[in-house]
Amino acid sequence: MNNILVTGSKGQLGSELRIISPSYKYNFFFTDKESLDISQSALIKEFVELNNINTIVNCAAYTAVDKAEEDEVNADKINHIAVKNLVEIAKEKNIKLVHISTDYVYDGKNYKPYTEDDITNPNGVYGKTKLDGERAMLDINPLNSIIIRTSWVYSSFGANFVKTMLRLGKERDSLGVIFDQVGTPTYAKDLAKAILDIIPRIDNTRVKIYNYSNEGVLSWYDFAKEIMRMAKIDCQINPIETKEYPTPAKRPHYSLLNKSKIKEEFSILIPYWKDSLDRCLKIMGERK
């Protein structure tokens, strides 16, 4: 039996993994920061040994991008130190590890979709700490372990752009949404399914990095427009520039991810972003 430890199980991706888990013949252990503090190496080791864990899916992350600018210690604790702890245990116990990273490791100045080999250059604390976690994993190099970089994650669980737009769209007559940041959303349920589908096929001696998001390309403005259209919310969406909506952390202007590697190596099909948004809104009861 494949005993899978899922960290950060109350987040968007962790919650989606829990929902689809009955469809897979794995034995899951869903944990959060209350049930397993992954910043404490001894606690991880004890949990792994007690439950005979042979696969870890690390969904735990400090994702408050703006807050991280003033809270680097805690962001580093979760995005770097805790990852290092998991990686060390994975190597010692020969455990397969899937670690989730982010498009924020890139600086967003590309002119074509980012590949896994493109130069990383994070703009802020969140991206830097996530990249430090990646580097710890690459340096320690446990067998059969991968990093998946993803972008613009949303779900029917947790706080995200889709939920924010639905709420604000019902409260206001018009909204200004940024049009000069371009990328692709990732429906967490699609990523969760991809992870569980590829786990049996992960077989490598060096840590590999993969990109994953839904298919297509759009701006946040386009995303908001489609959310309102599908939900039939009468709210005017107006395009604004990034400079009109300043934030503590700098966002990448371009974070389109090239997914050729993960599609080819694992023979997976990735849904188009509009199809995934449609499915998510139906689950939320918001598709009209």
Express each pLDDT in 75-115 by its tens digit. Answer: 999 999 999 999 999 999 999 999 999 999 999 999 999 99
The whole-model pTM stands at: 0.97
**Which residues are catalytic, by number?**
126
Q: Are 149 and 95 in contact (CB under 8 A)?
A: no
Rounded-to-integer distance, Cα 53 and Cα 216, Å: 36
Domain locations along the chain: 3-158+186-214+255-271
% the chain with pLDDT above 90: 99
Model pLDDT, residue 1: 74
Rounded-to-integer distance, Cα 76 and Cα 85, Å: 12
Rounded-to-integer distance, Cα 113 and Cα 183, Å: 9
288 pLDDT above the threshold of 90: no
Confidence class of residue 11 from pLDDT cuts 50, 70 and 90?
very high
| pLDDT (tens digit per residue) in 150-192 | 999 999 999 999 999 999 999 999 999 999 999 999 999 999 9
| pLDDT (tens digit per residue) in 106-148 | 999 999 999 999 999 999 999 999 999 999 999 999 999 999 9
Residues 45-65, mean pLDDT to the nearest whole number: 97
Say if domain 3-158+186-214+255-271 classifies as CATH 3.40.50.720. yes
